[in-house]
């Protein structure tokens, strides 16, 4: 097959994240493109989690779709939850010890979900016991059951290597990786590479997992190549395998971040962990760092200390999600008032309140653009995928320092936790712009009004003394309430927005894809990009579609936007967002006067998949629907 979709499911804590990393690297090693979303509960151990993956032999995949060819389960809950997601002639891999499991005996399933599944099974005439579900899949759906005795295989392994039986469960992730590899025909050496990359200096784990692979192979050798993936034809000789958190962390290091603060929050904290891992490096005798990664007492301290570090001259940032950003808002306002360059990486998750802490969302657009009292310039920049996130992270610092403004890099959980194969970033394309910096002695005025951008000096520069104040201030930074000064200083801060709009290149403002004379234009931002591009490509034989990936969300690039949609009547524009309100439409209306009324929304916390996006676009275009709400995915 050209492409294969897979779900790997099991209880939280069983090591699925490891499976994803091992399989991702193994596949990339052979030259396949991979993308995988990780879905999990706010829980450490026991709740249902799964990896939804797409492997491609011909391209670097950018969206996920249902149904999948392979359902690989560690536990019974996975089968109950996903049995309906498997395509005809697909396979279901399961532990034969689960066959007699009844859904009523699985306490980790939420009651709501259990009832829903039971109802569905009852309609199909299937009793809620794994063996009946598997029988049904085999007989009615032509799905091949692949039965493995997990307990037996792990027992053989633990006996052979004298592994403490209490450690046995940590091998389940390797077992499932092995089974999937065998089914799709991925050779042992690539799987071995995946284990080696994952476990590195823990040689014994590599050895055990390779032995495990062989045991699984002995058990299911007859299923080798049953859903075979074609030989790869992508042609890249090097790939990067990264999550969104990783790629942003790496980009921050390249950008020269030297102070990163954070308070632990899902799905942002992993970014700071990755930076911390690289807090000091030397390469070719060159120091990269030191980077101070500071876990603060709360998000207020995170933003305030990041601002402080910026005042001292450090490239400085913080990373958070919605609840944390809410706490940062007063600090954001201070940064606006004091023209402080600082980057806030904002990974949206499901709100309001604690909401769905481990699920994705794009419902905070308005929060990022408008939160905080008073009026001032901020920049809100979003990225459509891992590659964009890399370059945009660096650009976020450049914009922050060039215009002395806070920059919010608005991302989301989908990107944060999705692992993707991407080309290795081109460092030659990266530039660092620290803006106007001076060291000009005693009469220094931090907020010199002779230009929109007052040259910046760092605290600690020789012979320079300066003041900052959250109060309205004069050119020196001292509190002044004079109305004329207020008018000048207040306007200066806001009018930087014009400069940003004039000077920012089009590709930072938006990406334009698809047909140049479109019948319909789809507009979205952030992680909608991949699925939107696959949608317009899939439908290209019957529809001329264009996708606009909005990147600079604030200040809104009105002029360019109007230019692009000038030949498209507004009823032929469709906005897509992972939210209830599809709020980008409101932002467009406010900034441009264009009223977008066709909307595709998804706010279940699960990503929009290709199948449902295609259907939604068709419903809008051919069935004249205006507002399609999507909900597929467990």
Binding-site member from 301, 532, 545, 617 for another protein (CB under 8 A): 301
| CB burial of residue 463 (10 Å; 0-12, 13-18, 19+) | exposed
Nearer to another protein, 220 or 254 (CB): 254
Determine if 158 is a binding residue for another protein (CB under 8 A).
no
Residues 449-488, interacting with another protein (CB under 8 A): 458-471, 477-479
* Token pair in block for residue 350: 């499901």
Residue 308 sits in the site that holds another protein (CB under 8 A): yes
Out of 156, 300, 327, 499, name the contact with another protein by CB under 8 A: 300
On the 0-12 / 13-18 / 19+ scale of CB atoms within 10 A, 428 is: exposed
Site for another protein in 193-222 (CB under 8 A): 193, 197
Question: With the CA atoms of 281, 241, 200 and 57 taken in that order, what torsion angle do they form, in degrees rounded to the nearest 10?
Answer: -150
Asked if 306 is part of the footprint of another protein (rule: CB under 8 A), the reply reads yes
Q: How far is the CB of 47 from another protein (least distance, A)?
A: 28
Q: Which of 583-617 are b and which e, b meaning 16 or more Cβ less than 10 Å from the residue's Cβ?
A: bbbebbeebbebebebbbbbbbbbbbbbbbbbebb
Q: How far is the CB of 53 from another protein (least distance, A)?
A: 16
User: Minimum Å distance from CB 4 to another protein?
Assistant: 18
96 touching another protein, by CB under 8 A: no
For residue 168, the 8-state DSSP code is G
Kindly state whether residue 19 participates in binding another protein, applying the rule CB under 8 A.
Answer: no
How many CB atoms within 10 Å of residue 432?
A: 12
Task: Choose one: 217-225, 311-319, 516-524, 603-611; the region binding another protein (CB under 8 A).
Answer: 311-319
**Site membership for another protein, residue 296 (CB under 8 A):** yes
Distance CA(476)–CA(352), nearest Å, equals 41
| Residues 407-436 close enough to bind another protein by CB under 8 A | 421, 424-428, 430-434
Asked whether position 81 contacts another protein by CB under 8 A, the answer is: no
Stretch of residues binding another protein (CB under 8 A), selected from 26-34, 372-380, 404-412, 585-593:
26-34
Cα gap 36→42, rounded to integer Å: 19
Q: Which two tokens stand for residue 461?
A: 């520069």
Task: Count the site residues for another protein by CB under 8 A.
Answer: 91
Among 102, 142, 312, 451, binds another protein (CB under 8 A): 312
The minimum distance between CB 448 and another protein, in angstroms, equals 17
**Whole-number Å distance between alpha carbons of 124 and 136:** 9
Residues in 166-195 that interact with another protein by CB under 8 A: 189-190, 193
| Helix boundaries (H) for 125-171 | 130-141, 150-161
Only segment of 37-45, 329-337, 535-543, 561-569 that touches another protein (CB under 8 A): 329-337
**Does residue 256 belong to the site contacting another protein (CB under 8 A)?**
yes
- Residue 313 belongs to what H/E stretch? none
Q: How far is the CB of 373 from another protein (least distance, A)?
A: 12
Sign of CA dihedral 343, 347, 351, 355: negative
Q: Which run of H or of E encompasses 56?
A: strand 48-56
Q: Is 203 exposed, middle or buried (0-12, 13-18, 19+ CB in 10 A)?
A: exposed
Q: How far is the CB of 401 from another protein (least distance, A)?
A: 11
In whole angstroms, the minimum distance from the beta carbon of 261 to another protein comes to 7
């Amino acid at each position: 097959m050209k492409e294969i979709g897979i779900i790997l499911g099991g209880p939280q804590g069983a090591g699925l994240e490891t499976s994803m990393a091992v399989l991702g690297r193994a596949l990339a090693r052979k030259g396949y493109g991979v993308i995988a979303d990780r879905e999990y509960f706010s829980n450490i151990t026991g709740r249902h989690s799964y990896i939804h993956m797409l492997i491609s032999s011909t391209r670097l995949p950018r969206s996920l779709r249902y149904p999948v060819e392979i359902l690989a389960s560690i536990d019974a809950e996975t089968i109950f939850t996903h049995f309906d997601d498997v395509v005809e002639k697909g396979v279901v891999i399961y532990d034969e010890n689960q066959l007699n499991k009844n859904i009523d005996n699985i306490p980790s399933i939420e009651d709501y979900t259990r009832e829903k599944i039971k109802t569905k099974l009852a309609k199909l005439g299937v009793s809620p016991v794994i063996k009946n579900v598997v029988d049904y899949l085999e007989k009615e759906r032509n799905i091949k059951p692949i039965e493995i005795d997990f307990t037996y295989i792990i027992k053989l392994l633990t006996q052979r290597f004298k592994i403490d039986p209490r450690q046995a469960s940590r091998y389940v992730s390797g077992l499932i990786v092995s089974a999937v590899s065998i089914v799709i025909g991925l050779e042992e050496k690539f799987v071995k590479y995946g284990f080696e990359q994952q476990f590195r200096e823990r040689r014994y784990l590599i050895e055990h997992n390779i032995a495990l692979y062989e045991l699984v192979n002995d058990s299911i050798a007859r299923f080798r190549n049953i859903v075979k993936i074609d030989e790869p034809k992508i042609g890249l000789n090097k790939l990067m395998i990264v999550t969104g958190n990783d790629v942003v962390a790496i980009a921050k290091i390249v950008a020269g971040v030297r102070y990163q603060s954070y308070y632990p929050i899902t799905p942002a904290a992993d970014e700071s962990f990755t930076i911390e891992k690289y807090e000091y490096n030397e390469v070719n005798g060159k120091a990269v760092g030191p980077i101070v990664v500071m876990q603060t007492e709360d998000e207020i301290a995170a933003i305030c200390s990041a601002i402080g570090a910026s005042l001292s001259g450090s490239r400085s940032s913080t990373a958070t999600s919605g609840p944390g950003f809410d706490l940062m808002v007063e600090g954001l306002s201070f940064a606006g008032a004091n023209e402080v360059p600082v980057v806030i990486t904002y990974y949206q998750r499901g709100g309001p309140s604690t909401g769905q802490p481990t699920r994705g969302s794009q419902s905070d657009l308005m929060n990022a653009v408008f939160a905080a009292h008073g009026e001032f310039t901020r920049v809100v920049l979003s990225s459509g995928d891992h590659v964009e996130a890399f370059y945009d992270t660096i650009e976020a610092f450049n914009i922050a320092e060039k215009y002395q403004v806070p920059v919010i890099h608005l991302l989301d959980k989908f990107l944060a936790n999705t692992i993707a194969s991407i080309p290795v970033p081109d460092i030659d394309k990266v530039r660092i712009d620290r803006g106007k910096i001076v060291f000009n002695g005693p009469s220094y005025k931090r907020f010199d009004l002779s230009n929109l951008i007052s040259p910046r000096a760092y605290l600690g520069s020789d012979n320079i003394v300066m003041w900052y104040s959250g109060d309205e201030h004069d050119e020196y930074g001292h509190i002044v309430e004079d109305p004329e000064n207020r008018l000048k200083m207040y306007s200066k801060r806001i009018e930087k927005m014009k400069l940003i709009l004039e000077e920012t290149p089009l590709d930072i403002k938006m990406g334009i894809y698809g047909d140049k004379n479109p019948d319909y234009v789809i507009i979205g931002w952030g992680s909608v990009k991949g699925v939107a591009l696959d949608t317009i490509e899939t439908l290209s034989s019957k529809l001329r579609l264009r996708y606009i990936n909005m990147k600079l969300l604030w200040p809104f690039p009105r002029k360019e936007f109007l230019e692009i949609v000038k030949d498209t009547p507004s009823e032929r524009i469709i906005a897509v967002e992972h939210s209830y309100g599809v709020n980008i439409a409101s932002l467009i209306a406010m900034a441009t006067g264009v009223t977008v009324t066709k909307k595709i929304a998804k706010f279940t916390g699960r990503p929009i998949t290709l199948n449902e996006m295609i259907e939604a676009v068709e419903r809008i275009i051919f069935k004249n629907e205006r507002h399609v709400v999507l909900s597929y995915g467990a």
